[in-house]
Amino acid sequence: GAGVSQSPSNKVTEKGKDVELRCDPISGHTALYWYRQSLGQGLEFLIYFQGNSAPDKSGLPSDRFSAERTGGSVSTLTIQRTQQEDSAVYLCASSPTGGGKYEQYFGPGTRLTVT
Amino acid sequence: AQTVTQSQPEMSVQEAETVTLSCTYDTSESDYYLFWYKQPPSRQMILVIRQEAYKQQNATENRFSVNFQKAAKSFSLKISDSQLGDAAMYFCAQTSSNDYKLSFGAGTTVTVRA
């Protein structure tokens, strides 16, 4: 079956612009995660969805970052007024449900470059 | 809090030889899970192997095996008969049964020499 897909694959934007990153999880997976991979910070957790609810937004670095999930499927990560430090690869993952025993399946990521 | 440490930024191995990647972790949880993920240049994170903390037997997946030392909080990955396709960045990760987010180490870049 289809894996996790993310779009766009690459995004270059100017400082101060807003960007939207999209994630399509594996069909039937109720849990969805966003991570950020940057040179300075490594891989860090951003937000977790169970269905359409986000019980843990603790990893979002600032109020410029927001995410939503609709229909228990597609998720969008929005970064407002982008800054150069937002440049990173944004990875999305999904699992059958939340909980450590379930494998997380990752998408190919979106590379964001803020100029 | 869970922390994962990978102390080897880079490792090089001759094709068909064996390489071992180190990982140590720290957690206060008693029920937790450990993983090794592979990330090739395509960026796609691929699960290589997983270990449940309550299992004493070391996990194996074909040419990949782990040495899980629970008391020492060590979780190393051994790649046997290395192949060119094994070249990638490898991440050690941890989560607990009542958690959901993965905590990752800094990664180890593996280069395979032909």
Tens digit of pLDDT at every position of chain B (114 positions): 789 999 999 999 999 999 999 999 999 888 999 999 999 988 889 999 999 999 989 999 999 999 999 999 999 999 999 999 999 999 999 998 888 899 999 999 999 999
Instruction: With beta carbons less than 8 A apart as the criterion, state whether A76 and A22 touch.
Output: yes
CA distance A81 to chain B (A): 26
Q: Quick one: A13 exposed, middle or buried, by C-beta within 10 A (0-12, 13-18, 19+)?
A: middle
Instruction: With beta carbons less than 8 A apart as the criterion, state whether B11 and B109 touch.
Output: yes
Beta bridge partners of A31: A50, A95
pLDDT at A55 over 90: no
Average pLDDT of A39-51? 90
Closest CA to A49 of A27, A65, A72: A72
| Cα A72 to Cα A50: distance, rounded to the nearest angstrom | 8
Collapsed DSSP state (helix, strand, coil) of residue B85: helix
Which chain A residues touch B102 with a CB distance below 8 Å? 33, 35, 43, 45, 104
- Model confidence at A50, pLDDT cuts 50, 70, 90, reads very high
Closest CA to B93 of B57, B60, B45: B45
Interface test with B, best of A50, A104, A110, A112 (most B CBs within 10 A): A104
What are the tens digits of pLDDT across the range A15-41?
999 999 999 999 999 999 999 999 877
Q: Which residue has the tokens 């490594």?
A: A42
CA distance A52 to chain B (A): 16
pLDDT at A5 over 80: yes
Interface test with B, best of A43, A46, A101, A111 (most B CBs within 10 A): A43
What are the tens digits of pLDDT across the range A77-101?
999 999 999 999 999 999 998 887 7
